[in-house]
Amino acid sequence: MTSKKIKILSEHKAYYSSPIGTIEIVASELGITSLNFAKDSLAKSSSVHSCLKDVLVQVDEYFKGKRRKFSLKLILQGTDFQKKVWRELLKIPYGKTASYRDVAAAVGREKAARAVGNANRLNNIAIIIPCHRVIGSRGELVGYGGGLWRKKWLLEHEHKFNADKNKRK
C-alpha cells in the first residue's frame, strides 16, 4: 500500500470537556483528523459543524461507559508502518491491553517494539485509536502523550465498565 496524501479543504474544531481534561477534535467532511487533549482547558466551541456531531456523541458515550467501540471515519496521516500499527491498535478490545512487543509481532515486525512505541507517540487520534491500551512487556504503564495519569484513568475506566458488563450477564 502506498502512502497517499489526502487534501483536506476545510477543517472544523470542537471541544469536549471530559473527566480527564478538555479534548480538541478536528474533522472535515471526510472524517476525523485529530482528537487530542487541549492545552487550553477553557477552549470552547461556539457552534459545532455537522461533521463533528457524531464524534461528540460517541466520545460522550465512551466517557459514560456506554460505548466500547467507535464507528467513525478516520483520516490517518502518517507512514505506511504507522498506519499499520494504528489499525492494529483498533483491534485491541475495550478493557484489554497489549504490549508494544505484541503489537510489533501482529504487524509482522517482531523486533520493532520501539518503532511501535514511536508510532503510538505520533497517533493523532487518541482514545478512538486506543494507544492507551498498549503497555510495557512486564505489564507496566509506559509512554502516553496525554500523561501516564490519563492512561491509567482510561484503562481503569474501561476495566470498570467491562467488569460491570460482565456482572450483568
The reply to whether 131 belongs to the active site is: yes
Among the listed residues 131, 144, 125, the one whose alpha carbon sits nearest the alpha carbon of residue 75: 125
Select which of 131, 134, 135, 154 is catalytic.
131
Distances (CA, A) of 91 to 60, 82, 98, 99, 169: 21, 15, 10, 13, 23
Q: What is the dihedral of CA 95, 100, 102, 104, to 10 degrees?
A: 130
Three-class SS state of 32:
strand
For residue 124, count other CB atoms closer than 10 A to its CB: 19
Helix (H) or strand (E) holding 14: strand 12-18
Indicate which residues carry an active-site annotation. Answer: 131
